[in-house]
Amino acid sequence: MSLTDLARAQRYAKGKSHYVGIPIVDDGSRRPAIFRRSHLQAAVASGVLHARYDEDEGILILNGGTSRYALRDLSRSSGQNAYQIREELTKWAVGRRRTIRTRNLPPNLRDDAKRRAEVEKLERKLARIHVYRPRNPVIPQERKPEYRTWAREGTERWIKERPLRRALGRLYPRFTAPGGFSTRGFPWAEVYQACSVAGALIKESNQYGRARSRQAHKGIRPDAYMRRLWEFAGLVRKPWDLEPPEPFVTQWESYLVDRTRFLEDSQEAQAIKNAITNAKLGTVPLVLEESAI
């Protein structure tokens, strides 16, 4: 088929799926062009008189008396990947098949199938709600014995590694002083050697080039990396209980915000649970046999 055949383009615009694939050549040597069906329907409904496909730009051009539409081929667009189109079409097809199965059921089972689909929808919505009770800053927080052991070991290791952190901290002014930079870039080999001499071994996976490419440290600059040498050397972070405590006013304000969110989420979750209970009442049976579908 050729896109210059307007009648065939109008025929492809009919349908219900979100996307439509239109063959560009008749011999099947090229994959079809993909467009949003709503866009193609709007263009065809405006009274176009001629349609052509620009192979170089990947655009379907529909010209009318007073209108002109240019639809971009989504199979060649970088803004939308093929797997996104496939997932959307798969989701649409699953819904259509479910609708057809429900429509073909006997009348006494049709209402039960619709009710069961509504229950599944409510259960998925309930699974997305996470209710966490906030901690009141006035009430002391109880700690498990396992946490006390973990916190004590972390504090002991942090104290033991203090001389090593100080040695790594002295490397920052050494390599950032005037003349410390090489004309061909930052002297990372010298930095890693100095760290090794100080007693901290930086693994290859934590070196600047590899760390800068990871999402957690994407775009990190050399000076920021040098300030955090202790982190990339695998040393422990300062225990939170040794940090200055947060002001009580700030803790109380955060608690009020979290408490409001907790109440709202609890009410919404309870409303969904009640709706699920009401929807399940009278369902016979809850699970239909595959032969009935």
- Using a CB cutoff of 8 Å and minimum separation of 24, what contacts does 87-90 make? 88/18, 88/19, 89/17, 89/18, 89/19
Asked whether 74 and 40 are in contact (CB, 8 A), the reply is no
In eight-state DSSP terms, residue 288 is -
Which H or E run includes 134?
none
Output the CA angle 147-150-153, nearest 5 degrees.
Answer: 150
Asked whether 92 and 223 are in contact (CB, 8 A), the reply is no
The structure's pTM equals 0.45
Euclidean distance between CA atoms 91 and 18, whole angstroms: 11
Asked whether 241 and 81 are in contact (CB, 8 A), the reply is no
Output the CA angle 46-51-57, nearest 5 degrees.
Answer: 115
For residues 24-40, average pLDDT:
78
Euclidean distance between CA atoms 94 and 86, whole angstroms: 12
Lowest mean pLDDT among 22-26, 89-93, 279-283: 279-283
For the segment 228-281, what is each residue's pLDDT rounded down to a tens digit?
888 888 888 877 655 666 787 888 898 999 999 999 999 999 999 998 888 887
What is the per-residue pLDDT for 284?
40
pLDDT at 64 over 60: yes
For the segment 137-190, what is each residue's pLDDT rounded down to a tens digit?
888 777 667 767 877 888 888 888 888 888 888 888 877 765 555 445 677 888
pLDDT at 292 over 70: no
Residues in the chain: 293
Output the CA angle 149-157-245, nearest 5 degrees.
Answer: 70
